[in-house]
Structure 1
Amino acid sequence: MEKNSLFYMANLYPEIGRMFSYYDSGKKEAGDNAKKRALNIVDTILTFRDIKPAGREEWSVIKNFILGFDELDSFEKTILEKYSEPFSYKFMNQYTLS
């Protein structure tokens, strides 16, 4: 399986979910590790040439949301939590059709 930008976008969704879950349950170290993995995924996404300038700006905003997770209000957390969800569904749809 080719690990293209969509692959990494899809994998960000569960990683952010893990980050939320760990922080919400008071598991700071595990939350910090999930945060690092999420940031690495975003950095990898930004290396792909198929990401257009406007997309790069969006992913940079998402990266900033992850970096400043502790300072986010509930609305911003919802944005972060839901942002990569459609990519996960798209990837799974393509994966099951191939």
Structure 2
Amino acid sequence: MENFMQWVLGVLIVFTCCLSVVYSFKSRRSTDRRISGLNASRMNISMGLMLIFIAIIQMFMFTGSSVRVVVGALFFLLGVFNLFAGMRNHSHFSRLSQ
């Protein structure tokens, strides 16, 4: 079961990392500020989820040392901040698009 969870979380990390890269390129290449803002907020959401998945692996999948738990907690807090900032910006820019 633990091996299955590591594979699932690993696939989710790679998937969200790829989404972050795609949205980053779209955001930088767009000339419209609203579309650029929407893609940047989607990038933040993807990056936040990626950091949360990394934190889950760090804190729960391996034997706990205090350094590993602290790094996992920092990744988790940074991921939650990115997730909520991206969601807030996405709602702001989607209202501007309408």
Structure 1 length as normaliser, TM-score? 0.47
Structure label with greater radius of gyration: 2
Structure 2 length as normaliser, TM-score? 0.47
Higher helix share: 2
